[in-house]
Amino acid sequence: MIRVVVIGQGQVASNFVVGLERLKKGEIEPYGVPLADMDLGYNFNDIKIVGSYDVDAGKVGRSLYDVAKMYFNEEIIPEELKDIYVRKGISLGKLQDMPFDIVSLDENNGSLSDVIDLLYEEWCRLKPDVVVDLTTTQYGIVFRDFKKLEETVLKNNRELLTPSQVYCYSLIKYVENVRSAAYVNCIPVPIANDPAIVGKMMEAGGLVLGDDGATGATPLTADILRHMADRNRKVLSVAQFNIGGNLDFLALLNKERNRAKEFTKSSIVKDILGYDAPHYIRPTGYLEPLGDKKFVAMHLIYKSFNGAEDEIIVNMRINDSPALAGYVVDLVRLSKLALDNEIYGTVYEINAFYMKRPGPLGSKSISKILARRLLGEWVGKAARKPVKAYEII
Ligand SMILES: NC(=O)c1ccc[n+]([C@@H]2O[C@H](COP(=O)([O-])OP(=O)(O)OC[C@H]3O[C@@H](n4cnc5c(N)ncnc54)[C@H](O)[C@@H]3O)[C@@H](O)[C@H]2O)c1
């Protein structure tokens, strides 16, 4: 059994919980779950959602079934979701620009330590093996030193913190005192890219995976770049942009949040090509009628033999949220597989395939075709020693 807590009961999380229950009943095929056919020691039926958190006043206190009605026709929503209720999370005052009312554990501006104690107590009761972060994108800093992160939390310095860092800090306390667990960070806040967090998790006997799920155009761009590098074609420019109409795209209109995304996406160019070809890679806009099915355009110019200049143009319409939700089905099983084998800290082989900015800090983005091979090898010998974050940096 893998006990899962989801943070951020939005469109990705709702796709995850609805799709998972439908998978368990055999109502859908496991398309979009990359390792569906691989034996990870746990299958879909072993995953149990035990808790969910949000800060949207329209979601907190409602069942996952009711929240799913915001995204799906009622006929496909599994009855099992009627028994799980959305709990109040933490916001640190970072969501004022969002188009909904906020309720959160920290709304009265009390001390963060008290909020963390509350969360900790809830997690002692929920006993999660894996906590999955699917909250709204935030811009966060790398602390590097756990003492610095701890001091910032204890001094109640909300300005420097994101909710994800506080959730993860609270899970570290749980790992230290109760049992091993993993934090899977699907958003751009540096969690698996922060040696403070990875190092502490390794010491405590827990795991972090991240950062920022790689689903839409970024993995395809990474594979095309590898294709160019393997053929010694000189890439002269890369343009890639996304326009979508879901809440995630609306949130990215905020400059700081967009900066966080741009940072996680752009590292692929230099990492894969070995030189920094001029590029523009970022979510560019919000257009409500597109809904969750975003429009992606990609354009590459490159030089081939005898000075010839070629171009690649790709246009796509992609359902954004189900893509990441399918990955989460793997990520929770891989987390448990790692924990069972006492693999702590973080695992580059998992991050490199599923994430835009694979931790630990300082590790490279590689093409997803290569990453998939590494991941298969890692699963094959799952008891391998973990990558030690502080050795790589
Ligand atoms: N393919 C993808 O959709 C994809 C890929 C990579 C990363 N992501 C990231 O995944 C995240 C979720 O995407 P989504 O489309 O579900 O967005 P969404 O806006 O539908 O859902 C986010 C949810 O998180 C909640 N939330 C925000 N801050 C919170 C907090 N501090 N605590 C608890 N809940 C909080 C919001 O109220 C909302 O319900 C986004 O950050 C997005 O950038 C998505």
CATH number of the domain that residue 357 is part of: 3.40.50.720
- Nearest atom in ligand 1 to the alpha carbon of residue 12 is 16
Please indicate, yes or no, whether residues 54 and 172 belong to a single structural domain of this protein. yes
Please indicate, yes or no, whether residues 112 and 260 belong to a single structural domain of this protein. no
Q: What is the CATH number of the domain that holds 297?
A: 3.30.360.10
- Confidence check: pLDDT of 135 > 80: yes
Cβ-contact 351, 209 below 8 angstroms: yes
The finding on whether 89 has its CB within 6 A of some atom of ligand 1 is yes
> Cα separation of 359 and 344, whole Å?
13
Please indicate, yes or no, whether residues 84 and 206 belong to a single structural domain of this protein. yes
Please indicate, yes or no, whether residues 327 and 314 belong to a single structural domain of this protein. no
Binned at pLDDT 50, 70 and 90, residue 254 comes out as confident
The finding on whether 91 has its CB within 6 A of some atom of ligand 1 is yes
The finding on whether 219 has its CB within 6 A of some atom of ligand 1 is no
What would the two tokens of residue 67 be?
A: 């929240």
Q: Whose CA is nearest to atom 12 of ligand 1?
A: 134
Indicate the residue among 318, 346, 373 that finishes a domain. Answer: 318
The finding on whether 246 has its CB within 6 A of some atom of ligand 1 is yes
Residue 78 has a pLDDT of 97
- Nearest atom in ligand 1 to the alpha carbon of residue 164 is 31
Q: Taking residues 151-172, what's their average pLDDT?
A: 96
In whole numbers, what is the pLDDT of the chain averaged over residues? 93
Comparing 14-23, 119-128, 324-333, 381-390, the range with the smallest average pLDDT is 381-390
List the beta strands (DSSP E) in the chain. Answer: 2-7, 47-54, 86-88, 130-133, 182-185, 207-209, 234-244, 279-286, 293-303, 309-319
Please indicate, yes or no, whether residues 266 and 206 belong to a single structural domain of this protein. no
Q: Tell me the CA–centroid distance for residue 277 and ligand 1, in Å.
A: 31
Indicate the residue among 318, 338, 361 that finishes a domain. Answer: 318
Other Cβ atoms less than 10 A from the Cβ of 113: the count is: 12
Please indicate, yes or no, whether residues 44 and 160 belong to a single structural domain of this protein. yes
DSSP 321: H
> Cα separation of 356 and 197, whole Å?
18
Of all residues in the chain, what percent carry a pLDDT higher than 70? 95
> Cα separation of 72 and 316, whole Å?
23
- Confidence check: pLDDT of 274 > 90: yes
- Nearest atom in ligand 1 to the alpha carbon of residue 324 is 1
Please indicate, yes or no, whether residues 208 and 231 belong to a single structural domain of this protein. no
Inter-CA distances, 247 with 95, 135, 162, 210, Å = 12, 11, 19, 21
Q: Tell me the CA–centroid distance for residue 133 and ligand 1, in Å.
A: 8
Indicate the residue among 318, 347, 368 that finishes a domain. Answer: 318
Q: Whose CA is nearest to atom 3 of ligand 1?
A: 321
Q: pLDDT for 212-251, tens place per residue?
A: 999 988 899 999 999 999 999 999 999 998 999 999 899 8
Please indicate, yes or no, whether residues 350 and 302 belong to a single structural domain of this protein. no
Please indicate, yes or no, whether residues 11 and 94 belong to a single structural domain of this protein. yes
Q: Taking residues 132-154, what's their average pLDDT?
A: 96
> Cα separation of 136 and 323, whole Å?
17
Which of 60, 103, 134, 282 has the most ligand 1 atoms within 8 A of CB, as the residue to mutate? 134
Please indicate, yes or no, whether residues 122 and 222 belong to a single structural domain of this protein. no
> What predicted TM-score, i.e. pTM, was given to this entire model?
0.94
Residue 391 has a pLDDT of 44
Look at the chain and report how many structural domains it folds into. 2
- Nearest atom in ligand 1 to the alpha carbon of residue 261 is 43
Please indicate, yes or no, whether residues 77 and 137 belong to a single structural domain of this protein. yes
Domain that holds residue 263: 217-318
Which of 135, 166, 211, 281 has the most ligand 1 atoms within 8 A of CB, as the residue to mutate? 135
Binned at pLDDT 50, 70 and 90, residue 392 comes out as very low
The finding on whether 134 has its CB within 6 A of some atom of ligand 1 is yes
Q: Taking residues 43-69, what's their average pLDDT?
A: 98
In the three-class reduction of DSSP (H, G, I as helix; E, B as strand; rest coil), residue 223 is classed as helix
Please indicate, yes or no, whether residues 196 and 278 belong to a single structural domain of this protein. no
In the three-class reduction of DSSP (H, G, I as helix; E, B as strand; rest coil), residue 318 is classed as strand
